[in-house]
Amino acid sequence: MIVFDKVTKKYPLGNTALDEVSFEIPDNEFIFLVGPSGAGKTSILKLLLMEMRVTSGSILVDDKDISAAHFHGLTDLRRGIGVVFQDFKILPDKNVFENIAISQKVIGIPNRDIRSQVKEVLKMVGLENKEKVFPVQLSAGELQRVAIARAIIGDRKIILADEPTGNLDPKTSWEIMKIFKKLEGKKTIIIATHNTDIVNSMQKRVFVMKQGKLAKDHKKGGYEI
């Protein structure tokens, strides 16, 4: 479970990114974060990854207070979270297999196990025959599929996606969302997005952010401005 309890994030110059935001996300729930630019969506994702620290309040992930000054589990926390970015962040000098396998190599997973895991996630994202292909040979939609495969390898329990369809055409965006839907009920998925059509059609739980506050929490909601 993920718990935000009155989380506030202020920057040194006085800007407030989040203002006493509280919510609970049970394991394996599918969440959309929506709201205008600057509303606090990306700040929530960065706090979960500990790319920045809270000003006040607390954040619990699986009963561990990751916002506490004495928390020293950053490496283990990030190993359990997969991240999908709007601009893909694929390494151009490595092929598809190498891009997906890199995180597992870093933590010392045996090569035989890595090969099996890569084949499994490539099948899930529909790129079974692309493992030796380099990024320059791929479309934007295929690059995002590689990014999703990289995020889910290793049986990570939490997937964070920041505008994952922002650089894609409508048809490709829906294909990408079908992949996330395959993961529904198996992982906790939090997607920050401006895509109103996808949010309104999928009818998942929606957090509406406005000026750093959680304005609404809809169990089966749509996009609100």
Q: What does the pLDDT look like over 174-207, one tens digit per residue? A: 999 999 999 999 999 999 999 999 999 999 999 9
Amino acid at 93: D
Q: Is the pLDDT of residue 81 over 80?
A: yes
Question: What local confidence, expressed as pLDDT, does residue 225 receive?
Answer: 61
| Torsion region of 56: left, alpha or beta (phi above 0 gives left; psi -120 to 50 gives alpha) | beta
Question: What local confidence, expressed as pLDDT, does residue 222 receive?
Answer: 75
> What DSSP designation does 137 have?
G
The CATH class of the 28-54+61-218 domain is alpha beta
- Which backbone phi and psi does 88 adopt, to 5 degrees? 70, -50
Decide: 157 and 188 in contact? Cβ < 8 Å: yes
Going by pLDDT thresholds of 50, 70 and 90, the confidence category of residue 92 is: very high
Residue 112, Cβ density class (10 Å: 0-12 exposed, 13-18 middle, ≥19 buried): exposed
Which pTM value belongs to this model? 0.93
